[in-house]
Amino acid sequence: SEQLFVEMADVMAAEGWRDAGYEFVCIDDCWMAPTRDERGRLQADPKRFPSGIRKLADYVHSKGLKLGIYSDVGNKTCAGFPGSYNHYDLDAQTFASWGVDLLKFDGCNSGTLELLAEGYRRMSLALNKTGRSIVYSCEWPFYLRPVQQPNYTEIKQYCNHWRNFFDVYDSWSSIKSILDWTALHQDSIVKIAGPGGWNDPDMAILPGIFVFLSQLVIGNFGLSWDQAVTQMAMWAIMAAPLFMSNDLRHISPEAKWLLQNKEVIAINQDPLGKQGYQITKDKNFELWERPLSGQAYAVAVLNQQEIGGPQKFTLSLTFLGNGLACNPACSIQQVLPASRNWGVYSWVSSLSLEVNPTGTVLLKV
């Protein structure tokens, strides 16, 4: 209901979320009335959004935030509400007239792959034609992948970020499967990411929590502390758009600290805009790095083991940045799970880290 989004906008403005960089309050599927109006336009459900989307957008803007909305490339949304097929220009104009700032465009009920691709292209052009700056969040490659390899160069021409994998759930197995998939496909997806277009590991609706474009399930119930640290660290390494799927009115101080951590957000939002990648996998350990501006690197050491206690990992610094990150020397700052200054190291030295099961140590080198 609109009341939920009003309350969430209030919390985002009052409790530091906006100032940390979380700008968008996003409405997912099911916001619409079951039919279009007499002029063929989408309309909000009159019971749950009695004031209409324009008024909600104005309120969200008054808090220094932006409003995101949902539609679908096919003739029906995933939940069976009216889709945008054959209404791309009209829907784009409607969203612009309401003051919408982001569109999540789903891929259900699209018919053929040709119609899917045509719909994504046409909505992109329609949004641009409105003259309003609207972030375009696509699910194009996710719906293509079972049948054909997505053309990411083309997708980036039309979309600002695009979903690659199944819905994220509030569980370690879900986070793990996203990381495994990303590592497996990194050769085809890492090179395309950059300013203007980003790989989105996942999207979801989490019923009963807060319906948001979803990325970060931190602050709910399914992840341990170490697993929450892993998600935050790895989403920063992957240059993933950070969308929270949680109820900010009832969030623990620990989860808030993690989600608002300025050092992690700075890595995620690094202006160089390069996506990170896995460099090596050794038994239960994974080593990932991400090139940052100013000749720096973000480095993540992930312990995939799920039982036992903390384990030692010895990081040879010659591994990093094709041997360039610490040549001839580098300073190392630990960001997660807690801030720590490791000092200056030479190119040929190594660093011994202790990593908890399903946990991650995130460094800036």
Active site residues: 106, 167
What's the sign of the alpha-carbon dihedral 146, 152, 158, 162?
Answer: positive
Phi, psi of 128 (to 5 degrees): -65, -35
Residue 30 exposed, middle or buried by CB count within 10 Å (0-12, 13-18, 19+): middle
Identify the DSSP state of 40: S
**30, 40, 83, 211, 217 from 80: Cα distances, Å:** 8, 17, 8, 17, 25
Q: What distance in Å separates the CA atoms of residue 340 and residue 333, rounded to the nearest whole number?
A: 6
What's the sign of the alpha-carbon dihedral 355, 191, 162, 3?
Answer: positive
Estimate the crossing angle of helix 88-98 against helix 53-62, to 10 degrees: 50
Residue 357 exposed, middle or buried by CB count within 10 Å (0-12, 13-18, 19+): middle
Cis peptide before 337 (omega within 30 of 0): yes
285-292 β-sheet, strand order: 277-282, 285-292, 296-303, 360-364, 329-336, 340-346
Both tokens of 237, joined, read 């390494």
Both tokens of 56, joined, read 């909600």
**12, 34, 161, 208, 212 from 4: Cα distances, Å:** 12, 21, 26, 12, 11
Both tokens of 186, joined, read 């990194």
Q: Please report the beta strands in the chain, taking only residues with DSSP state E, as ranges in sequence order.
A: 24-26, 66-72, 102-106, 135-138, 161-163, 198-200, 277-282, 285-292, 296-303, 311-316, 329-336, 340-346, 350-355, 360-364
Q: Amino acid identity of 114?
A: E
Radius of gyration, CA atoms only, the chain: 21
Both tokens of 140, joined, read 């194009």
